[in-house]
Amino acid sequence: MMNPELLNGAALAYMGDAVYEQFVRTYVLKSGKTHPNRLHRSAIKYVEAAGQAYAMQAWIAEDDFLSAEEIDMYRRGRNHKANTKAKNASIQDYRQATGFEALIGWLYLSQQEERLTVLMQDAIDRIERRGQNEPKA
């Protein structure tokens, strides 16, 4: 059995990306959309680096929202030296999103399903509210 505590930030983020993507896809499908292009466009705001960074910043800003161990896992992902660069995001958002995904991956691999679900749903809720508060172009 693998110990998620020993994985590097990139490995945790790799898993977290897949877990969060599946959660978001399920959420978008439950909204009633069925056309693949509409599903994809609906999911983007939740899975893009800017959305993940936004949720992560909000969690960190709230005292005691994340445990010390959760913050450590976020930092492990955020601080991991990546050989790739962000396509459609600032480097800061990209690194924070990698930390977000590392936290999600760690929670999944350490079988903390209840906390994992709480955080993923909270991220979606925050990103959704953020979109409602932005001015229409």
Residues forming the active site: 17
Tokens of 75: 């930092």
Cα→Cα distances 117→20, 37, 74, 99, 121, Å: 10, 26, 16, 17, 6
Q: For the chain, where are the E strands, in sequence order?
A: none
Residue 13 tokens read as 């983020």
- Please compute, for residue 103, the number of CA atoms within 13 A of its CA located in the half-sphere on the CB side: 30
Q: Give the chain's end-to-end CA distance (angstroms, integer).
A: 51
What would the two tokens of residue 52 be?
A: 């993940």
| Dist. CA 114–CA 119, nearest whole Å | 9
